Copies of this chain bind each other. A is one copy, B any other.
Amino acid sequence: MTQAPEKKPVTLADIARAAGTSPSTASRAISGRGYVAADVRDRLLEAADRLGYVPNASARTLKHRTSRVIGVVVSDLGNPFYARLAAGIEQTLREVDYQMVILGDNSDGDEEVAAARTFLAMRAPGVILTPVGTAATRLLRSHGVAVVEVDRLLANVPCDAVVTDNEGGARDATELLLELGHRRIALLGVATTWTTDAGRLKGYRAALKSHRVAYDKNLVLRFPVHDGNAQARIGRLLDEEAPTAVFAANNQLAQQAWFALRERGLHIPGDVSLVAFDDVPWMEMVEPGITAVAQPTFAIGRRAAQLLLRRLDEPDLEPAVERLEPSLLVRGSTGTAP
């Protein structure tokens, strides 16, 4: 590593000296706030450019007592759902020159709180998170940090949120199956009290009820969060309960259900129909395509960032909960009941 002149970073004082002014004038010229004679400004800007001046964000943050960093905490960046969410957030923030720092929490409440502390330390004015518990949001809010909860809504303190209409989406999906004549519809869900899972279950039950189909709890399986080993249990359900349709409440469970069906040589939709909540690329590519409740993931990210930015502008607005409508993409995996 021969490079690295290690020359200590140039400061406002340096460029002030180079231009023969005081540091305060240099500050005004660079930040563009406050009066400064045109010719002096030009001289200063030229000097800054020539010396390769880069403002020190920490000094600014220290002075302003707030940074331009927005914290984002998701369960798992490797999951395409969270990745697209993050992509939407990042794009929106970058347009207005905010930076996104991402922390993962593995769906663990303690790690989520640790992430919140980190963002407090960074003096982030706002945080976007897919909540795992209520502690992190409460902590952040109690320090005056704006919070937007995404995907799920758990907060017991005032904060904004952007969520999908889980109940509506699940109802539509279940009704599609009911209208195709299915009566034994398995539900694969997650065992949490999160609004996502609760909403999807609720929608499922509502659809059954409106079609006067009894709720059979043997057809409902609930897994730990992000359970990578759900396939065996799903397989057992297929063997023992012989559902004619399966509704998987997230993309991971859908994938494992799909493998379980294939493993058994069960034909989709001939033997069993399959519907997924949350559309991901492979669902369009397999044969037959998987009918899915598509969430506008990228848009959710964008919207969350917008809500946060608005909140930073006007802290006293009423908390807003935006409920985005998912759309049911009917593909080949749903057919009439055998």
**Which chain A residues have a beta carbon within 8 Å of chain B's beta carbons?**
1-6, 9, 52, 54-59, 61-62, 65, 67, 69, 76-78, 80, 83-84, 86-87, 90-91, 94, 99-104, 117-118, 120-123, 141-144, 157-159, 255, 258, 280-282, 285-287, 298, 311, 315-319
Contact = CB atoms under 8 A, between A and B. Distances in A.
A158 B3 CA distance: 7
A84 B78 contact: yes
Contacts of A1: 158-159, 311, 315-319
A176 B315 CA distance: 61
Contact of A67 (B58, B255, B286): B58
A140 to B, nearest CB: 10
Nearest to A316: B1
A33 to B, nearest CB: 17
A57 B123 contact: yes
Given A59-B62, A123-B56, A282-B286, A87 B91 contact: no
Nearest to A258: B285
B78 A87 contact: yes
A57 B121 CA distance: 5
B144 A315 contact: no
Task: Report how many copies the assembly holds.
Answer: 2
Contact of A121 (B54, B78, B90): B54
A10 to B, nearest CB: 10
A59 B255 CA distance: 47
A90 B84 CA distance: 16
A83 B91 contact: no
Contacts of A159: 1
14 contacts: A1-B319, A4-B315, A9-B123, A52-B143, A54-B117, A54-B121, A56-B62, A57-B123, A99-B103, A100-B101, A100-B102, A101-B101, A102-B102, A285-B285
B62 A90 contact: no
Given A56-B62, A78-B298, A101-B102, 4 more contacts: A2-B158, A4-B141, A77-B84, A77-B86
A122 B57 CA distance: 5
A54 B103 contact: no
Contact of A54 (B59, B80, B143): B143
Contacts of A316: 1
B99 A122 contact: yes
